[in-house]
Amino acid sequence: MEFIKNVFINRKIIWGIGKNDFKNRFANTSLGAIWGFLQPFIFMLTYVIVFQYILKVGSVGNYPYVSWYLPAMSMWMTLNDSIISASNSIRAYSYLVKKVIFPVDTIPVISIIASSFVSMFLFIIAIVVSSIFGYFPNLLILLYAVFAMYCFVIALTRFTSAVVTVLPDFSQLLNIVMQLFFWFTPIVWDMQRIAGHPTIARVLQCIPFTYLVSAARQAFIHENIITKGHGIYTIIFWVITIVLFVWGNHVFKKTRKDFSDVL
């Protein structure tokens, strides 16, 4: 497809701009890019302290809460940051749209790359801490989860980046929706809590956010998200992702001609 071709052809430019994007986010601070790693680290540490030591959750099933929680939160923070930044990327890089001959449809990928540096740091923290507790991840499952996550983010932001560009208010709505998904996704709570409501549980498990968070978590607790439930949730996830990409691609192409006028 045209989008994939453009990303491949311009991969060096996209990578270079993505790295500079991450650095420029903190260019006016004395600590620079360190803030990009420090803020999410403090956020995750706060949840660990509150749930592990203040609320004394202790463990979830047979697993320490820290090992159960950190991989899921790492995945969620990666999802949230990538989706929000990529959705606003065309407005952030308006000069590429108006003044430079540049493949506009690759701009969201730049923001996704910029978010990837913190993402790698978060997963490294999860690996180190979980290993201390005796839970070293299945790297193949973890790599699959990360790959699936980026496929989903690219598919979703094909749509959201186009809509935010022509309708800026959609960005605020997207922030609210992501906050709602945070609480409806089993990140800080266990799916066993709704075991008495099987219909609700099945619906939640079909949501891509739940699938991705569960994939990251299960990589650390030696379960296989790919084949779980006879693979039905994996099939549902990829069907949703492919449909989102095709639909988002259609919306992006249809609205692209209006980008220069609204920026």
- Helices 139-166 + 65-87 axis angle, to 10: 30
Contacts of 65 by beta carbon, 8 Å cutoff, 6+ apart: 48, 51, 52, 57, 58, 59
pLDDT by residue (tens digit) across 52-101?
667 666 556 677 777 888 888 899 999 999 999 999 988 888 877 766 67
Specify the amino acid at residue 234.
T
Mean pLDDT on 16-21: 78
Contacts of 78 by beta carbon, 8 Å cutoff, 6+ apart: 115, 116, 118, 119, 122, 123, 149
pTM confidence score = 0.88
Token representation of residue 79: 């999802």
Check: CB of residue 63 under 8 Å from CB of residue 235.
Answer: no
Query: If you ran DSSP here, which 8-state letter would residue 93 be given?
Result: T
Contacts of 97 by beta carbon, 8 Å cutoff, 6+ apart: 90, 104, 107, 259, 260, 263
Specify the amino acid at residue 178.
M
Tell me whether residue 216 is exposed, middle or buried, using C-beta atoms within 10 angstroms of its C-beta: 0 to 12, 13 to 18, 19 or more: buried
Specify the amino acid at residue 32.
G
Residue 93: the pLDDT is: 82
* For residue 253, pLDDT beyond 60: yes
